[in-house]
Amino acid sequence: MTSATRSSVIGTLVILTVPVVLALVISEALGIRVVDRIATIFCINLVLVLGLQVFMGNSGILSFAHVGFMGIGAYASAVLSMPLQMKGMALPELYPIVKAIEISPYLGMVVGGLVAAGVAAAVSYPLMRLSDAAAVITSFALLVVLHTIMVHWHQMTNGPRTLFGVQSATTLYIAAGVAILMIFIALIFRESRTGILLRAARDDEVAAGAIGTNISNMRWRGFVLSAFMAGIGGALWAHFITSFSPNAFYLKETFVILGMLVIGGAGTVSGAVLGAFVVTAAFELLRLIENSINLSGVLPTQLVGLTEIALACAMIGILIVRPSGIISAREVAFPDALRRYLPGTHFTRPKQSRSADEGGTQ
Amino acid sequence: MSQLLQFTIDTLSLGSLYALMALGLVIVYGILRLVNFAYGELIMVAGYTLYLLSASPVPWLFMAFTAVLMSIFAGIATERVAFRPVREKSVTAVLITSFAFSTLLQNAALLFISPRARVVPLPDVFSQTVEIAGAVVPLRNILTILCAVLLLAGFALLLKKTVLGIALRAAASQFRMARMLGVPANLVISVAFAISGFFAGIVAIFWLGRIGSVLPGIGLGPLLVAFIATVIGGMRSLLGAVVGGYLLAFIDVSLAHLLPSNLLQFRDAFTFTLVIFILLWRPDGLVRGPATGQRT
């Protein structure tokens, strides 16, 4: 990494931590539970979206399997960190070896990420040869396989039923800290050798192959890192929500995470951050409205699904207007962002523009 | 002997349904090279149309006809909302818009109708059984097979003999060239979606005939089936979709007979692993489609 890229990465990192810090500060200043909750959810979502961005943004391949890895991380961390006396009640059929283990939830989060990455590393290598529709369908198939296993492996996951008694460990500070760390990792990966080659392969597979890129291998690295981040995100989520069932890690969650990334812009880390911020805020606000309408009993029936409908419309709308999201190709950068707001100057970027970035992949 | 007959009819009727599901998906994929994630929701639309009409005094056949019509309409709507505006921009964008549209339809059903399952009206024929050579067979299974055979034959004729069919096949094999020769792109794509909706509507009638009720998430099962069947058979070949459908039904029915019950619950995991392997072994599926050019 050249010193110029390094300074621009640091500049971007500084800007991108602003929403996270903002969420933290607002929550501390107000001291309202709901705000704290939303801020924490934002940070967790951010970790998940960044995980997806690392693979999807750099390789240009739509992946559905991501939420499956989130589930792996969540279950691994939840089960390993569960207090010994709880295990007998929550998971009566648990294997004796696992039953004897109790680790700290923070260690559990790391282990959750590692387990997810391990599974991804083991199963995904052959899948990385595929691109376009075949890649999408296999990742979809992988999600279904992972979900089916989660639903039926009742020794580890309590089957389709809710798993209770997960330790509550995710505070806003921890979630925010992890989120900032993940922003850093995603930015570094983007500018790393692997990240650059991966993006080269995304823009032109043949040309990238011609300069000697081992495309499958680069994709695989991105995928494993992405699964690691998803696993940690899942573990954070598990220790925040404390009781969940396999259905939490299926198409609905996939849709939300994918929606955030797509609206923000999959090609950039900035897009992922922006998307997570905007969508979480809108989503939680709509959900609050939905819940208060339901509680007040103004309507004869319960409102369900309004939030998802709004998100779906926003996604379709954004994609029609800007197919590669709000921030499509260029990361927000420190000096530009400042200079752009000066009156009367139309700052043009001296660097060569990467026009291929704009159109997505073909 | 009667067991073998039972097995054959089970496989054939399930296979017919699967083949129709797969055909509906692959007709769109063949032309656009894009997976329509909202395909399952077309089935849901037909199901809810039946449910909404159940209170009315019209005969059942009319309800079924309306349901299929609504499904066709929903198919065309999918194209208008999720495909046409982004078709030429990015592959990923279209996949995501169709996924979003699927969520949109599902949640609309959730919001406006109910999250709970609703019973759909079915004619008496669907619950009767007949006895053939000692095997007791539900009449609806025979009907499914007959209907599928008729539809497949009719569809094959349409593709081989009519101008529309030739235009569809031309578009599926060389979309750009077909456009240059005067095949109107938007029309062909709309027709493909209408046909997709038509198959979804027919599938919905027989699929609901098996389960008896409709709920917002009903489309996922058929969508997954259609995925597997097309992948096994060949994503670009209509014949492949049909072959894949019957083959998948054979695998499903056999697994249901052979697997011990504690493994049976993992059947989906088994079949999807099979899909991944088939895609790795032959990324084009078992039946190779016509040589293709670029999309759009």
Region A254-268: what's the mean pLDDT? Answer: 89
C-beta atoms of A360 and B280 within 8 A? no
CA gap B203, B215 in Å, rounded: 16
Contact B274, B224 (CB under 8 A): no
A266 touches chain B (CB under 8 A): yes
A141: nearest CA in chain B? B272
Task: Identify the bridge partners of residue A163 per DSSP, sorted by sequence position.
Answer: A244
A103 touches chain B (CB under 8 A): no
CA distance, residue A255 to nearest chain B CA (Å): 7
Q: Is the model's pLDDT at A350 over the cut of 70? A: no
Task: Identify the bridge partners of residue B135 per DSSP, sorted by sequence position.
Answer: B132
Confidence of residue A319 (pLDDT cuts 50, 70, 90): confident
pLDDT of the residue at A340: 53
pLDDT of the residue at B71: 95
Of the ranges A67-81, A113-127, A210-224, A333-347, which one carries the lowest mean pLDDT score?
A333-347
| CB-closest option in A138, A251, A313 to B104 | A313
* Encoded tokens for A351: 């660097």
Residues of B in contact with A133 (CB under 8 A): 29, 33-35, 91, 95, 235
pLDDT of the residue at B290: 57
pLDDT of the residue at B296: 35
Percentage of chain A lying above the pLDDT 70 cut? 91
Percentage of chain B lying above the pLDDT 70 cut? 96
Which residues touch B255 (CB under 8 Å, ≥6 apart)? B264, B267, B270, B271
Q: Is the model's pLDDT at B292 over the cut of 50? A: no
Report which of B192, B215, B153, B154 is spatially closest to residue B25, judged by C-alpha positions: B192
From chain B residues 32-91, the ones with a CB under 8 A of any chain A CB are: 33-35, 81-82, 85-86, 89-91
Of the ranges A144-158, B78-92, B187-201, which one carries the lowest mean pLDDT score?
B78-92
pLDDT of the residue at A143: 92
* Encoded tokens for B246: 């019957």
Confidence of residue A344 (pLDDT cuts 50, 70, 90): very low
Confidence of residue A277 (pLDDT cuts 50, 70, 90): very high
CA gap A117, A120 in Å, rounded: 5
**For B55-70, what is each residue's pLDDT tens digit?**
888 888 999 999 999 9
Q: Is the model's pLDDT at B22 over the cut of 80? A: yes
Write the single-letter amino acid at B222.
Answer: P
CA distance, residue B100 to nearest chain A CA (Å): 5
Give the CA distances from residue B233 to residues A252, B23, B51, B289, in Å, rounded to whole numbers and listed in that order.
29, 11, 34, 10
Q: Is the model's pLDDT at A348 over the cut of 70? A: no
User: Number of CB pairs < 8 Å for A and B?
Assistant: 137
pLDDT of the residue at A239: 95
Residues of A in contact with B244 (CB under 8 A): none
Q: Name the DSSP letter for residue A160.
A: T
Contact A276, A42 (CB under 8 A): yes
Residues of B in contact with A303 (CB under 8 A): 111
A302: nearest CA in chain B? B111
Q: Is the model's pLDDT at A53 over the cut of 90? A: yes
**For B207-244, what is each residue's pLDDT tens digit?**
998 888 888 888 888 998 888 888 888 777 888 889 88
C-beta atoms of B220 and A251 within 8 A? yes
- A74 or B240: whose pLDDT is higher? A74
| CB-closest option in A60, A144, A315 to B96 | A315
CA gap B213, B120 in Å, rounded: 5
C-beta atoms of A129 and B272 within 8 A? no
- B285 or A331: whose pLDDT is higher? A331
| CB-closest option in B35, B91, B283 to A361 | B91
C-beta atoms of A312 and B100 within 8 A? yes
Confidence of residue B111 (pLDDT cuts 50, 70, 90): confident
pLDDT averaged over every residue in chain A: 85
C-beta atoms of B111 and A304 within 8 A? yes
Residues of B in contact with A145 (CB under 8 A): 268-269, 272-273, 276
Phi-psi map region of A63: left, alpha, beta (phi>0 left; psi -120 to 50 alpha): beta
CATH number of B2-281: 1.10.3470
Per-domain residue ranges for chain B?
A: 2-281
Confidence of residue A361 (pLDDT cuts 50, 70, 90): very low
pLDDT of the residue at A346: 46
CB atoms within 10 A of CB A4: 9
* Encoded tokens for A94: 């648990």
**For A198-218, what is each residue's pLDDT tens digit?**
999 988 888 998 998 899 999
- B141 or A359: whose pLDDT is higher? B141
Confidence of residue B295 (pLDDT cuts 50, 70, 90): very low
pLDDT of the residue at B116: 84
**For B247-274, what is each residue's pLDDT tens digit?**
889 888 888 887 777 777 777 777 777 7
C-beta atoms of B272 and A145 within 8 A? yes
C-beta atoms of B227 and A137 within 8 A? yes
Run of H or E including A267: none
Contact B109, B48 (CB under 8 A): yes
Residues of A in contact with B99 (CB under 8 A): 255, 258
pLDDT of the residue at A58: 92
B139 touches chain A (CB under 8 A): no
B246 touches chain A (CB under 8 A): no
CA gap B32, B53 in Å, rounded: 34
CA gap A68, A139 in Å, rounded: 10
C-beta atoms of A359 and B29 within 8 A? no
CA gap A155, B37 in Å, rounded: 33
A127 touches chain B (CB under 8 A): yes
